[in-house]
């Protein structure tokens, strides 16, 4: 009888621009005698999917991660990720290659798509992030930023291509205006993004592989090292590398006050209170504490390494907020980023 890992290695190479017809029997994979299957995660987003971990008979650890679409929108997302992983697998990425999942199977899931990938070592960085007092301890937070920064530096070194003007805000003003037609806040924000886009475009960065959703939930760590990076649906083979830099810093800052009661001071962060949505991001961009210094150094170091002026660090973060406002699946989440960016554009010194 074939093992789950063997069954998953049925034809998977894309034909042309898309994936091949669905191959393999998902039910057979998930019900192989002696194997164990655990539901890892089930998203509530419009592009929702269910992630399963499969441990074959005789193995101590899971060998396969299977994403199963629950909607047509989810199938599109899974297909984009599968295509990206196949293309990445064809690239020579000496430094980060072992940290990337490999696509190993495509399956039919009642007419929708399911894709199996290899399982990477490590635990999600977000597990430590939400541990008691983790965010109040500078050494622990610095270790997270160092791990993320080191992995990004390796990715960029592996995939450097020709330089181009910084494109973080390309099309963002138009997307925001179209997303909230007739909304004065959206119109006002779109009008203010022009000078920010011009400042960024005055500098250049090389094109590199871009993950596109580089936040603590998608980073697997072992000790102080990133040993896996998952969820490549928004990946690009040649894109703006500062997208990942901004996304990590902003997403890490957003939940600094998650475990603090409303109105209270946030432990370990002088001057930060849990008094408004996005207070952690505002604190990171405008604050003077150790966390603000760390975020500024993280972004400025990446800019310098990529050949752009370090003083653009706050513009990069503001542009990152604009990208989330324009592209986030959840409309309320996007709207909160829109309003926060509008406020910060008036408060951050230029």
DSSP secondary structure code for residue 100 in this structure:
S
Domain that holds residue 57: 4-118
Is residue 296 located within the same domain as residue 201?
Answer: yes
Q: How many CB atoms lie within 10 A of CB 250?
A: 26
CB 219 within 8 Å of CB 151: yes
Q: Token pair for residue 39? A: 């539901």
Is residue 172 located within the same domain as residue 294?
Answer: yes
Provide CB contacts within 8 A for 160, sequence distance 6+.
Answer: 206, 208
Looking up residue 288, the CATH number of its domain turns out to be 3.90.1200.10
So what's the pLDDT on residue 34? Answer: 86
Last residue of a domain, one of 118, 136, 167: 118
Last residue of a domain, one of 89, 118, 147: 118
So what's the pLDDT on residue 46? Answer: 60
Beta bridge partners of 103: 117
Give yes or no for residue 20 having a pLDDT over 80.
Answer: no
In 172-306, where do the E strands start and end? 204-206, 208-210, 219-222, 225-229, 236-239
Looking up residue 30, the CATH number of its domain turns out to be 3.30.200.20
| Residue showing tokens 């592996």 | 158
Q: In percent, how much of the chain has pLDDT > 90?
A: 75
Give yes or no for residue 13 having a pLDDT over 60.
Answer: no
Last residue of a domain, one of 84, 118, 152: 118
| Residue showing tokens 């989440």 | 333
pLDDT averaged over every residue in the chain: 90
Contacts 24+ apart (CB under 8 A), 220-224: 220/99, 220/120, 220/121, 220/122, 220/123, 220/124, 220/125, 221/122, 221/123, 221/124, 221/125, 221/128, 221/147, 222/121, 222/122, 222/123, 224/143, 224/146, 224/147
Three-class SS of residue 25?
strand
So what's the pLDDT on residue 22? Answer: 45
Comparing C-alpha atoms, which of 254, 167, 262 is closest to residue 210? Answer: 167
Segment 43-91, tens digit of pLDDT: 566 667 899 999 988 888 889 999 999 888 899 999 999 999 999 999 9
Over residues 113-123, the mean pLDDT reads: 93
So what's the pLDDT on residue 104? Answer: 86
Is residue 176 located within the same domain as residue 80?
Answer: no
Q: How many domains does the chain have?
A: 2
**Could you tell me the pLDDT band of residue 241, with boundaries at 50, 70 and 90?**
very high
**Could you tell me the pLDDT band of residue 270, with boundaries at 50, 70 and 90?**
very high
Is residue 108 located within the same domain as residue 173?
Answer: no
Is residue 326 located within the same domain as residue 250?
Answer: yes
Is residue 298 located within the same domain as residue 198?
Answer: yes
**Could you tell me the pLDDT band of residue 2, with boundaries at 50, 70 and 90?**
very low
Contacts 24+ apart (CB under 8 A), 5-10: 5/56, 5/63, 5/64, 5/104, 7/32, 7/105, 8/64, 8/104, 8/105, 8/116, 9/104, 9/105, 10/105, 10/106
328/330 Cα distance (integer angstroms)? 6
So what's the pLDDT on residue 349? Answer: 67
Q: Token pair for residue 282? A: 């505002």
Segment 214-234, tens digit of pLDDT: 999 999 999 999 999 999 999
Three-class SS of residue 220?
strand
CB 44 within 8 Å of CB 35: no
Is residue 47 located within the same domain as residue 77?
Answer: yes
Is residue 108 located within the same domain as residue 147?
Answer: no
So what's the pLDDT on residue 350? Answer: 65
Q: Token pair for residue 204? A: 């250049």
Comparing C-alpha atoms, which of 319, 214, 339 is closest to residue 279? Answer: 339
So what's the pLDDT on residue 323? Answer: 97
**Could you tell me the pLDDT band of residue 110, with boundaries at 50, 70 and 90?**
confident
So what's the pLDDT on residue 256? Answer: 97
Provide CB contacts within 8 A for 248, sequence distance 6+.
Answer: 145, 148, 152, 214, 215, 216, 298
> Do the bridges between strand 112-118 and strand 103-109 make them parallel or antiparallel, or are there none, so unpaired?
antiparallel
CB 24 within 8 Å of CB 66: no
């Amino acid at each position: 009888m074939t093992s789950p890992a063997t069954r998953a290695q049925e034809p998977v190479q894309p034909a042309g621009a898309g994936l091949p017809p669905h191959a393999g029997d998902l039910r057979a994979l998930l019900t192989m005698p002696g194997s164990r299957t655990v539901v890892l995660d089930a998203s509530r987003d419009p592009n929702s999917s269910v992630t399963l971990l499969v441990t074959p008979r005789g193995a101590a650890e899971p060998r396969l991660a299977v994403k199963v679409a629950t909607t047509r929108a989810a199938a599109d997302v899974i297909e984009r990720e599968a295509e990206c992983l196949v293309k990445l697998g064809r690239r020579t990425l000496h430094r980060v290659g072992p940290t990337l999942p490999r696509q190993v199977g495509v399956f039919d899931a009642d007419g929708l798509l399911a894709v199996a990938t290899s399982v990477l070592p490590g635990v999600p960085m977000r597990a430590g992030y939400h541990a008691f007092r983790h965010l109040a301890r500078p050494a622990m937070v610095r270790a997270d930023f160092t791990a993320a920064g080191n992995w990004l530096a390796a990715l960029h070194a592996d995939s450097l291509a020709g330089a181009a003007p910084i494109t973080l805000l390309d099309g963002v003003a138009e997307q925001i205006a179209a997303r909230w037609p007739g909304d004065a806040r959206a119109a006002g924000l779109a009008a203010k993004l022009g000078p920010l886009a011009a400042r960024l475009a005055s500098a250049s960065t090389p094109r590199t592989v871009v993950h596109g959703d580089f936040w603590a939930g998608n980073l697997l760590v072992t000790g102080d090292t990133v040993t896996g990076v998952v969820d490549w649906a928004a990946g690009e083979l040649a894109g703006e590398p500062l997208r990942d830099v901004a996304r990590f810093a902003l997403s890490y800052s957003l939940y600094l006050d998650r475990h603090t009661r409303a109105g209270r001071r946030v432990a370990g962060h002088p001057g930060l209170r849990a008094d408004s949505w996005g207070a952690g991001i505002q604190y990171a961009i405008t604050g003077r504490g150790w966390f603000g210094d760390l975020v500024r150094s993280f972004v400025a170091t990446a800019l310098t390494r990529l050949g752009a002026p370090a003083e653009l660090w706050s513009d990069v973060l503001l542009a990152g907020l604009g990208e989330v406002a324009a592209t986030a699946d959840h409309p309320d989440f996007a709207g909160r980023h829109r309003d926060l960016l509008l406020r910060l554009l008036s408060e951050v010194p230029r």
